[in-house]
Amino acid sequence: MPYGEEPTGQANRGQLAAKLRQQRENAQLSIEELASRIGITPADVEAIEGGTQPTARQLVYGWLNACGMLGPERRAIMDLAGKPAAR
């Protein structure tokens, strides 16, 4: 697993992918800009937005921060990312 935490479930992956893409577009960030801000490759952003790559909760958190996402919808998106990994 690429990002060190539990992946999202297959059932939520497509829904999460759509929400993440929407947030990136709302923030008017290109794929390249977002990738640079959160330390992944543009190909990873495309795979996550396409729902083909599992996405760790920590990465979703960073994605939403980079997009300036606040408020109750942020919590709903984080819930789609699954439970935090046990420490």
- pLDDT higher than 50, residue 3: no
Domain-embedded: residue 33? yes
Domain-embedded: residue 19? yes
pLDDT digits (tens, 9 = 90+) for 49-83: 999 998 899 999 999 999 999 888 999 999 998 87
Joined together, the tokens standing for residue 58 give 């920590």
DSSP 83: P
Pairwise CA distance, residues 13 & 51, whole Å: 6
Pairwise CA distance, residues 38 & 66, whole Å: 7
Domain-embedded: residue 85? no
List the domain range (segments joined by +) for residue 66: 10-79
- Quick one: pLDDT band at residue 86, thresholds 50, 70, 90? low
Domain-embedded: residue 36? yes
Joined together, the tokens standing for residue 47 give 């795979």
Counted domains in the chain: 1
User: pTM of the full predicted structure?
Assistant: 0.83
Question: How confident is the model at residue 82, as a pLDDT?
Answer: 83
Domain-embedded: residue 49? yes
pLDDT digits (tens, 9 = 90+) for 31-47: 999 999 999 999 999 99
CATH number, position 53: 1.10.260.40
Pairwise CA distance, residues 83 & 30, whole Å: 28
